[in-house]
Amino acid sequence: MEGKAFFIDTTLCIGCRACQIACKQWNQLPATKTENRGGFQNPADLSFYTYKLVRFFEQRGDDGKPVWYFFPDQCRHCLEPPCKEIPEDPDAIMIDQLTGAVLYTDKLKKENSQDVRDSCPYDIPRAENGTGYMAKCTMCVDRVHNGLLPACVKVCPTGAMNFGDYDAMVKLANRRLEEVGEKHPKAKLIGVEDTRVFWLLADKPEKYFDYAKSLIKPRGIDRKTALKKIARPLKELSREWQMLKGLAG
Ligand code: SF4
Ligand code: SF4
């Protein structure tokens, strides 16, 4: 398969949300006002200003101890995107030649925004209040075209976020599925057949969004090390932003 893909290994995710912050930083998106909803996921949902959201919830495992569910959510960059079928103008939503990324353009009319959102099987794209303009993950094509990793992948301290050639990501995903088999016998890959974002889940997919009994435990990284691993790439993102946007200007 041509193009690129993400592989998100949730068995390695520690819910640090560095990927979420890096996405905001690179795309120069404003912070979202949040409130205490009794959990640690913040903000509550994706929005016009939040393209990437680490969904998480605290639950009790079979042994009665608290366990975490983490699901870094974003546009799947579907191989045959249903959202692209909605606008009459075929150029309103483009497929990037190099990567296969699904990209929204300013030709996307606000009248289409509800239908575009409704067409997405994963409820990803969001319209801006008042304008109807739509936004979602861009696969950081501006970075990828310049040989850089997507911002979320660059900052992930555990190796949960991966990005590369589609076939290489499929290979990596299958290798990891095998590796975690003993620890997570119900582990499963989702998204490989029809999208450019695949996840390794430790349990049945429906258990993630239902916040059921999946046991996803982070693999040995302490808070201090994680913070250290996040700080440098976040600083580098600023430098890269100046470099690429400066070049474009
Ligand atoms: S996940 Fe939704 S928004 Fe993204 S390409 Fe697929 S249909 Fe479109
Ligand atoms: S940066 Fe990596 S470890 Fe942290 S929440 Fe995102 S995917 Fe998980």
Q: Please enumerate in sequence order all residues whose Cβ is within 8 A of that of 106, keeping only pairs 6 or more positions apart, or say none.
A: 133
Q: Give the DSSP letter of residue 6.
A: E
pLDDT in tens, the chain (249 residues): 999 999 999 999 999 999 999 999 999 999 988 888 887 889 989 999 999 999 987 766 667 777 787 999 999 999 999 999 999 999 999 999 999 999 999 898 888 899 999 999 889 999 998 888 999 999 999 999 999 999 999 999 999 999 999 999 999 999 999 999 998 888 999 989 899 999 998 877 766 764 322 223 333 566 666 777 788 888 888 888 888 877 666
Helix (H) or strand (E) holding 69: strand 66-73
CB–CB of 160/216 below 8 Å?
Answer: no
Mutating to test ligand 2, I would choose from 6, 9, 20, 70 the residue with most ligand atoms within 8 A of its C-beta, which is: 70
Residue nearest to atom 1 of ligand 2 (CA): 156
Helix 223-248 to helix 18-26 angle (10° resolution) is 20
Largest CA distance in the chain: 57
CB–CB of 218/228 below 8 Å?
Answer: no
CB–CB of 29/50 below 8 Å?
Answer: yes
- What predicted TM-score, i.e. pTM, was given to this entire model? 0.87
* Pocket lined around ligand 2, Cβ cut-off 6 Å: 13-19, 54, 70, 72, 155-156, 158, 160-161
C-alpha 62 – ligand 1 centre gap (Å): 35
Residue 186: the pLDDT is 84
CB of 78 closer than 6 A to ligand 1?
yes
Q: Give the DSSP letter of residue 152.
A: H
